[in-house]
Amino acid sequence: MAYSEKVMEHFAHPRNVGKMEDADGVGEVGNAKCGDIMKMYIKVTDGVITDVTFNTFGCASAIATSSMATELIKGKPIDQALTLTNQAVVEALDGLPPAKIHCSVLAEQAVKAAIADYYDRNGIEYDREGFISCEDCEHCQADPA
C-alpha cells in the first residue's frame, strides 16, 4: 500500500510543529525498535485543549500521525481527547501501510502521555489503566518493516 495523499500532505506540511515553552502537559513516547520518538505538548484552559504542538523524530508516517493527532484533539475537552484511538488517526489519514500502524499507536500514546502529565502536575486523579505504554503495545513490539 502506498501512502495516501493525506499522509503525504501531513508529512510535507505538518501542522502544530514545535516545542511549547509554557505547556500544561508534555508527553514523550518512543519505539526503540523503529527509532520513532514523539513529544506532544498541550495547553489546557477550563478542561479544554486550547493548543497542542509536537516534535517527532521519525519516518513520514510518524510525522503525519503526530500532525493528524494534534488536529484531532485541538479545541476538544480532555475527556474527548482521551477517546482518540490509533484507528481514528489512521482513518483520518485515509490509511497507513500495515507496517506503519505502530506510528498511529505512538501518536495515540503521546496524546495520552501529555494528558497524564497534565493530570499529574495538577494533582488530578485518573485511572492509569487506560494509559498503556508503548512497551505494552503489540504494534510497538512488532518488528518494523
Catalytic amino acids?
34, 103
Contact yes or no for 131/84 (Cβ under 8 A): no
CB neighbour list of residue 13: distance below 8 Å, 6 or more residues apart: none
SS3 call for 36: strand
Edge-to-edge, what's the strand order for the sheet holding 25-31?
A: 25-31, 36-45, 48-57
84's grid cell: 482518540
